[in-house]
Amino acid sequence: MVEEKKEHQKKGGWGALILGFIISFLVGWIFFGNHLAVPPLYGKLTQPVSFSHNIHVKQAEMACEDCHYLKPNGRWSGIPKLAKCIECHEEAQGETKEEAHFIKKFVETGKEIPWLIYSKQPKNVFFSHAAHLKIAGFKCRRCHGEMGYNDKPPVYVYSRLSKYSQHTVIVMERCMRCHKKFEAPNYCFTCHK
Amino acid sequence: MGHNHKHQSSHAEKYVMVIDIDKCTGCGACAIACSQENNIPVRTDETDKYLSLNWLVIYRITNGEPFPKTKVAYIPRPCMHCDHPICVHVCPAMATDKDAKGVVSQIYPRCFGCRYCMAACPYHARVFNWWDPKYPEGTERGFNPDVSTRMRGVVEKCNFCNHRYQRARDKAITEGRVILKEGEYVPACVEACPTKAMYFGNIKDPESKVAKLIKSPYAFRLLEKYGTHPSVYYLSKHEWVKRQTDWYLETQNKKQSHE
Amino acid sequence: MLTRREFLQFVVGGALGAVFSPLPWRIADEMVLFSQRWTYQAPHGEESWTKALCQLCPGGCGLKVRKIDNRVVSVKGDFVNPVNQGGLCPLGASSVQLLYGEKRRVRKPLKQEDGRWKEIEWNEALDILAQKLREFREKRESYTLACVDGYGHGLMSNLIKRFCQSYGTPNYLKMPSADDASSLAIELMQGHKGQIGFDLENADYILSFGSQLLEGWSVSVRMQRVYANSLKTKAKIVQIEPRLSDTAAKAHELLPIKPGTEAALALGFVHVIIKEGLYNQDFISNSTHGFDAFKELVLKEYSPKAVANITGINVNDIKRIAKEFAQAKSPLAIWGRGKGNIPCGLYEVMAIHALNALVGNINKKGGVVCFNEIAETWWPELNLDTTATESLKMERIDQARSKRYPLATSMLHQFAFNLTTEPKYPINALLIFEANPCYAAPKPDLFIKTVKKIPFVVVFSTFWSETTQQADLVLPTPFYLETWNGITTPKGWPYPVFGISKPATQNLYDTKHPGDVILTISKRISDSITQTLPWGSFEEILKTVAKKIYDTREGKLASSQVSALPRDFNTMWEKLSQGVWFNPEVKKVGFQTKTGKFEFLPSKFSALYLSQKASLPHYEAWELEGSLEEYPLTLICYETLMLTEGYIASSPYMMKALPPTLLKKNDLLVEIHPETAAKYKLAEGDKVRLKTPFGEAKVRAHIFEGIMSGLIAMPLGLGHSAYDEYLAGKGVNAHQLLGYTEEKISGIATWAMAKANLVKI
């Protein structure tokens, strides 16, 4: 009896452990990680119009505030409405395929562009651009990255389970940590409604 | 909880509501303005007042004299936003907290409906969604987007129209200041009152109307004996009103009862 | 094959690997987010504010409307408006619910076809209406058209009246209210046919004969403010009514009076004032006529003791209140039961107004003020063609202005009664403008029978009311937030006001303003009507009135602030659409009677060959139907702020605010005194059958000390059978039980009370 046991132990092998570890490690990183963003958990979509910030900022020489600004009543203007685009794009301004498609599908029909919003927050969240820009003095890049200088909009990644965008902070803990660091209030009603 | 005074306005703000019972005629405009502002549901049969969802309840008391000498007083009762909020202490989900300006919050996704807070609140200020909220067909178009609608199984209560504070503060920040002026932030009920019996403001601002009113000898709070230190003060010159609301014995006078 | 050890290792390895990957955190976060059961949240959008004037009662309170994109989300009071000064009432606060509540609203024109409703286009609807009306006119039967005006006063009301006159029908009817007796009394005693205002803001002693000041009389928001001010100015309010309404409880003093005997009490006060010599000698001797005859009658028949017997009020109270009234600086006696919707008798109003005359408080600060407003007087002269003139000579169906009822102007109850018994001629068409007589008329079942007898009934309505259900053709009208409208002087307000309410949001449904409809079909009926109603749209009428006001250069504008009239009309129109014009310095209208004085004994009565007593203000007991043995109790009705009387029914939020002592599930609770309850062995909430000579209903008992013994009180405004599920089937329609009693001299019918009996079920 004792010898049999000793023989079993001699066989040893953490093979199964390592195998299990590797499998779930890979599954975790591939299917649940943000970097690859593959189904079944993640879905990818493209914006309805391939808007190039670069063209508008460099060639059309527009400033960020032309489309994204703090309104006098304190609310953020967000993504501009079709009326803003029509100010210039009543007729084609360039020769790109994307612009032609945009004019045909949206300007001529007068339909609002159904943008997929990267930074969309849940319905019970009150996010104040005024407080973050003016009091905290943040620049846009801090939360929106290099969005303002892209050639075409990044692929919109969302979770199929919760339907929320994956490009932004969605978990309250991340907001609270930053608030703590900058000594901003962390009361519930600071951000919720 | 950060308390850096440079970035916050909250150290300079403590919001308080004052209701003049003598002026109040019980018209109910405040309750309906509150319902409209906060997307409060209505059921077809609202006669059972225990199940009725009302953030601002108007109580009716009489002076006990026989007809025709009977006098009536109406007491609008929003959430008291106590300085020692019992509901906050007992909530197991931390779905409610008290912020620096004095408002006690209620966060619906966090609440799981144990109703411990409802048992704790001595003012019955909290109501529970037993069913999915129902609205008259078509009135969803009139919803206020600044206020979340609730789902069944959560507790809700008056929040001093905190969404109006958020908007007012945003506007103030855009204009380059952090402190709100008097009248920039008022809840819907105070705004609607036709007799101007309701006042709302920041008592840390010595020039505000409420700062002066709470010092009035006619000011009192409901159930002060419980030590909840509510943020809602009432004014009344009538002894019979004070006795029924402040609750002290016939043989005591008000000062004695608080010792 | 996997051994147990290997399996366990695999699992543990898997768990460790998961821990070092994002898997558990992602799963946790996603589950949290996924499991949030969101109900529908309104989308965010562009916030904007616009101004409007509330038209849910004849008040016209100024509103600021908050919109998100194009949706109205809330209304709040406008501080600058002099009428409401930033306040709201429950009905105004529910505006958004009334606007968007789909179930109640009529969305498209409808016509009855084979017992079912068929949606039709406006073209077809207008064709049907114009064709029918032209047909009757060409057959010289214009008088067979009848119109019911739900507005009461204002531009629409005058437009309907003008249309009726130029079309050629004398059968123009109004929904009954206390205004009938009020305007008749003032016309007789002062010769004034225009606006009557009460300067309550400056009165220091208010004697209210059944007027529920805090529950909707005049403009409810204004009266709340008057009450709040009275606490500061120490003005005294004395309420005279049989039950402890909120007004009575909040007033300084309540005199509980036997219902229907208010005239006797007023004359009792007059007696004391005359006896003590406390009346305004100057005014009486210089500006009144018939005082001696009046004095003789009052001193003989209305001593405090006699009045105490009739009214049930203590003799000492009568003497004391009369003296307090006469010795006050600006005493004011007011009338108009409930919100002013429950009619009073002519003699009652004359008796109460005699008090005002006695103290000389007419056209003075703090008194009754009489003035004319441009919105009523601007209409150009009527040039009628022969068809109309001939047709107008026919006697009205309700016999108003006939030998039998020389003083009456409109009697809805007689219209219904005569039409269902033996009318002189049939009525071929009935147009009902934003009114609900099939619910709110006295004896509503009789009115429904009347409506069924008329072959072509057209109802202009925003809501699906009881009357709408009886129509042959339904023409939907817009809610006030969706359309242009003009606000004229609010009821009881002491100086003229005119405002324009712009649409706050676009038309939700396929509706048309009734003014536009009248103007459109007038052009299709005949040229002569086109001449008398030449305007293309209602908006054009509003502009014309605005211009007339602008031309007077009088008054002020309250838009974003109070200012004088601007120098060009376009700016004036702009500002009017953002607020109101008002003129506190309006010229008061003096006495326009034959004698040029205030007439206690109206000259107009001499043409009627009445006895002297019948020509003076005196007390006449209402002759109630039913015997005392069969109906020993009296049923009275009252009005409350949360229940609206007729066409614009209470919103769901208002129904929610009803106290549990009024409604229990769908049962109405009627107020019964503990003594009466003991006699009938009733406990709180017991089911009873309430019987009157006009009907019966199953209700529950609410034992209430705030009512006189022998009386039962029930509110007006419940018992609907239309609108939506928040209103229909709840309570009992008081009109079904109250019937009506007619005052002979004026033809005015009141339903303030009825004989009743209780049976415990």
Same domain, C532 and C507: yes
Residues of A with Cβ-Cβ distance to B146 under 8 angstroms: 126, 193
Q: Which of residues 53-72 of C touch B (CB under 8 A)?
A: 68, 71-72
Per-residue pLDDT tens digits for C125-141:
999 999 999 999 999 89
In a domain, A130, yes or no: yes
3-state SS of C313-329? Answer: CCHHHHHHHHHHHHHCC
In a domain, A136, yes or no: yes
| DSSP-assigned letter for residue C507 | -
pLDDT surpasses 60 at C728: yes
Residues of B with Cβ-Cβ distance to C75 under 8 angstroms: 36
In a domain, A148, yes or no: yes
pLDDT surpasses 80 at B6: no
- Give the chain C residue whose CA is nearest to the CA of A18: C13
pLDDT for A84 equals 87
C-beta atoms of C6 and A16 within 8 A: yes
Same domain, C329 and C425: no
Q: Region C701-717: what's the mean pLDDT?
A: 93
Are C516 and C433 within 8 A, CB to CB?
Answer: no
User: Structural domain tally of chain B?
Assistant: 1
- Give the chain B residue whose CA is nearest to the CA of C254: B68
C-beta atoms of C21 and A32 within 8 A: yes
C-beta atoms of A41 and C9 within 8 A: no
In a domain, A40, yes or no: no
Same domain, C411 and C511: yes
Q: Count of B–C CB contacts within 8 Å?
A: 194
- Give the chain C residue whose CA is nearest to the CA of B28: C90
pLDDT for B254 equals 55
In a domain, B139, yes or no: yes
Q: In angstroms, what separates the C-alpha of C168 from chain B's closest C-alpha?
A: 42
User: Structural domain tally of chain A?
Assistant: 1
Closest CA relative to residue C556, chosen from C155, C81, C49: C81
C49, C224, C225, C311, best to mutate vs chain B, most B CBs in 10 Å: C224
Alpha helices in chain A (DSSP H): 2-11, 15-32, 53-54, 64-67, 82-89, 97-102, 129-130, 141-144, 172-181, 188-191
- Give, for C34, the enclosing helix (H) or strand (E): helix C23-34
C-beta atoms of A131 and B163 within 8 A: no
In a domain, A99, yes or no: no
- Give the chain B residue whose CA is nearest to the CA of C43: B145
- Give the chain C residue whose CA is nearest to the CA of B36: C74
Give yes or no for B63 touching C (CB within 8 A).
no
In a domain, B210, yes or no: yes
Kindly provide the ipTM of the predicted complex, given to two decimals: 0.92
Same domain, C400 and C523: yes
Per-residue pLDDT tens digits for C533-546:
999 999 999 999 99
- Give, for C486, the enclosing helix (H) or strand (E): strand C485-487
pLDDT for B257 equals 46
pLDDT surpasses 80 at A39: no
Mean pLDDT of chain B: 88
pLDDT for B12 equals 81
The residue that leads in pLDDT, C504 or B259, is: C504
User: Tokens 């779930």 label which residue?
Assistant: A24
C-beta atoms of A20 and C12 within 8 A: yes
Instruction: State the pLDDT confidence band at C498, using cuts at 50, 70 and 90.
Output: very high
Same domain, C642 and C710: yes
In a domain, C666, yes or no: yes
> C434 Cβ partners below 8 Å, 6+ apart?
C150, C151, C156, C460, C461, C462, C477, C514, C647
Q: In angstroms, what separates the C-alpha of B183 from chain A's closest C-alpha?
A: 16
Same domain, C647 and C684: yes
CB atoms within 10 A of CB C82: 17
CA quadruple C511, C514, C515, C516: dihedral positive or negative?
A: positive
Instruction: State the pLDDT confidence band at A62, using cuts at 50, 70 and 90.
Output: confident
Residue C689 DSSP SS3: strand
Q: What are phi and psi of A152, to 5 degrees?
A: -140, 155
Of B154-168, C291-305, C464-478, C606-620, least confident by mean pLDDT is C606-620
Residues of B with Cβ-Cβ distance to A71 under 8 angstroms: 174
pLDDT surpasses 70 at B1: no
What gap in Å lies between CA C580 and CA C562, rounded to an integer? Answer: 9
Give yes or no for C92 touching B (CB within 8 A).
yes
Q: Which of residues 620-659 of C touch B (CB under 8 A)?
A: 641-642, 651-659
Alpha helices in C203-303 (DSSP H): 220-233, 246-250, 262-275, 281-287, 291-301
Distance (Å) of CA C700 to CA B67, C670, C717: 22, 6, 17
C-beta atoms of B174 and A130 within 8 A: yes
Q: Which chains touch A (3 or more CB pairs under 8 A)?
A: B, C
Per-residue pLDDT tens digits for A127-147:
999 999 988 888 888 888 888
> C168 Cβ partners below 8 Å, 6+ apart?
C137, C142, C143, C384, C387, C388, C389, C390, C391, C392
Per-residue pLDDT tens digits for B43-95:
999 999 889 999 999 999 999 888 889 999 999 999 999 999 999 999 999 99
pLDDT surpasses 70 at A12: no
Same domain, C405 and C528: yes
Q: Which long-range contacts (CB under 8 A, 24 or more apart) does B208-212 make?
A: B208/B182, B209/B18, B209/B182, B210/B16, B210/B17, B210/B18
Distance (Å) of CA C708 to CA C40, C307, C312, C626, C655: 50, 18, 10, 21, 27
User: Structural domain tally of chain C?
Assistant: 4
What gap in Å lies between CA B166 and CA A6, rounded to an integer? Answer: 71
Same domain, C450 and C530: yes
C-beta atoms of A74 and B176 within 8 A: no
pLDDT for B2 equals 36
pLDDT for B255 equals 56
The residue that leads in pLDDT, C646 or C150, is: C150
pLDDT surpasses 70 at A10: no
Exposure string of C225-259, with b = 16+ CB inside 10 Å and e = fewer, is: bbbbbbeeeebbbbbbbbbbbbbbbbbebbbbbbb
Q: What is the CATH number of the domain that holds C420?
A: 3.40.50.740
For residue C28, the enclosing domain spans: 4-34
Q: Which of C97, C101, C231 minimises the CB distance to B23? A: C231
Using a pLDDT cut of 90, give the percent of chain C over it: 81
Instruction: State the pLDDT confidence band at B7, using cuts at 50, 70 and 90.
Output: very low
B70, B129, B195, B199, best to mutate vs chain C, most C CBs in 10 Å: B195
Q: In angstroms, what separates the C-alpha of C726 from chain B's closest C-alpha?
A: 5
Instruction: State the pLDDT confidence band at C711, using cuts at 50, 70 and 90.
Output: very high
Pairing of strands C205-209, C236-240: parallel
pLDDT surpasses 60 at C477: yes
pLDDT surpasses 90 at C463: yes
Residue C400 DSSP SS3: strand
Both structure tokens of C467: 């009357």
Residues of B with Cβ-Cβ distance to C227 under 8 angstroms: 23, 25, 195
pLDDT for A121 equals 86
Per-residue pLDDT tens digits for C600-652:
999 888 888 888 888 899 999 988 999 999 999 999 999 999 999 879 999 99
pLDDT surpasses 90 at C715: yes
Residues of C with Cβ-Cβ distance to B48 under 8 angstroms: 660
Of C12-26, C248-262, C687-701, least confident by mean pLDDT is C12-26
Q: Which of residues 65-124 of B touch C (CB under 8 A)?
A: 66-72, 109
C1, C6, C8, C11, best to mutate vs chain A, most A CBs in 10 Å: C6
Q: Which of B22, B25, B132 minimises the CB distance to C246? A: B25
What gap in Å lies between CA C65 and CA C17, rounded to an integer? Answer: 59
Instruction: State the pLDDT confidence band at C20, using cuts at 50, 70 and 90.
Output: confident
Q: Which of B2, B99, B167 minimises the CB distance to A184? A: B2
Same domain, C662 and C513: no
In a domain, B176, yes or no: yes
C-beta atoms of C30 and A41 within 8 A: yes
Q: Which of B107, B173, B174 minimises the CB distance to A188? A: B107
pLDDT for C220 equals 92
In a domain, C54, yes or no: no
In a domain, B1, yes or no: no
In a domain, A164, yes or no: no
Q: Which of residues 141-160 of B touch A (CB under 8 A)?
A: 146-148, 159
CA quadruple C308, C309, C310, C314: dihedral positive or negative?
A: positive
Residue C68 DSSP SS3: strand
pLDDT surpasses 80 at A55: yes
Of A94-103, B176-185, C109-118, C216-225, least confident by mean pLDDT is A94-103
Using a pLDDT cut of 70, give the percent of chain C over it: 100
CA quadruple A119, A123, A128, A132: dihedral positive or negative?
A: negative
pLDDT for B251 equals 63
Give yes or no for A111 touching B (CB within 8 A).
no
Instruction: State the pLDDT confidence band at A102, using cuts at 50, 70 and 90.
Output: confident
Q: Region A49-76: what's the mean pLDDT?
A: 87
Per-residue pLDDT tens digits for C29-48:
888 888 777 788 888 888 99
For residue B60, the enclosing domain spans: 10-257
What gap in Å lies between CA C584 and CA C563, rounded to an integer? Answer: 13
For residue A54, the enclosing domain spans: 45-79+115-158+171-191
Same domain, C576 and C685: no
In a domain, C475, yes or no: yes
Give yes or no for A130 touching B (CB within 8 A).
yes
Q: Region C545-566: what's the mean pLDDT?
A: 92
Q: Which of A123, A128, A185 minimises the CB distance to B8? A: A185
pLDDT for C18 equals 85
pLDDT for B3 equals 37
Distance (Å) of CA C145 to CA B232, C385, C388, C396, C399: 60, 17, 12, 11, 15
In a domain, A100, yes or no: no
Q: What is the CATH number of the domain that holds B108?
A: 3.30.70.20
User: Tokens 């006295």 label which residue?
Assistant: C442
Distance (Å) of CA B228 to CA B100, B101, C82, C726: 16, 16, 41, 38
- Give the chain C residue whose CA is nearest to the CA of B37: C74
Same domain, C15 and C118: no
Both structure tokens of C367: 């008194």
What gap in Å lies between CA C503 and CA B36, rounded to an integer? Answer: 20
C-beta atoms of C249 and B193 within 8 A: no
Instruction: State the pLDDT confidence band at B226, using cuts at 50, 70 and 90.
Output: confident
What one-character-per-residue DSSP string does C206-219 give? EEEESB-GGGTSS-
Mean pLDDT of chain C: 92
Q: In angstroms, what separates the C-alpha of A179 from chain C's closest C-alpha?
A: 20
Using a pLDDT cut of 90, give the percent of chain A over it: 2
Q: Region C258-287: what's the mean pLDDT?
A: 93
What gap in Å lies between CA C676 and CA C450, rounded to an integer? Answer: 38
C-beta atoms of C33 and A14 within 8 A: no
Distance (Å) of CA C196 to CA C184, C343, C597, C646: 11, 16, 17, 23
CA neighbours closer than 13 Å in the CB half-sphere of residue A187: 20
Per-residue pLDDT tens digits for C400-457:
988 889 899 999 999 999 999 988 999 999 999 999 999 999 999 999 999 999 999 9
pLDDT for C13 equals 86
CA quadruple C52, C54, C55, C59: dihedral positive or negative?
A: negative
Residues of B with Cβ-Cβ distance to A135 under 8 angstroms: 7, 173, 178
pLDDT surpasses 70 at B258: no
In a domain, A91, yes or no: no
Residues of B with Cβ-Cβ distance to A188 under 8 angstroms: 96-97, 99, 105, 107
pLDDT surpasses 70 at B247: no
End-to-end CA distance of chain C: 82
Residue C557 DSSP SS3: strand
Instruction: State the pLDDT confidence band at A37, using cuts at 50, 70 and 90.
Output: confident
In a domain, B5, yes or no: no
Both structure tokens of C201: 């803001």
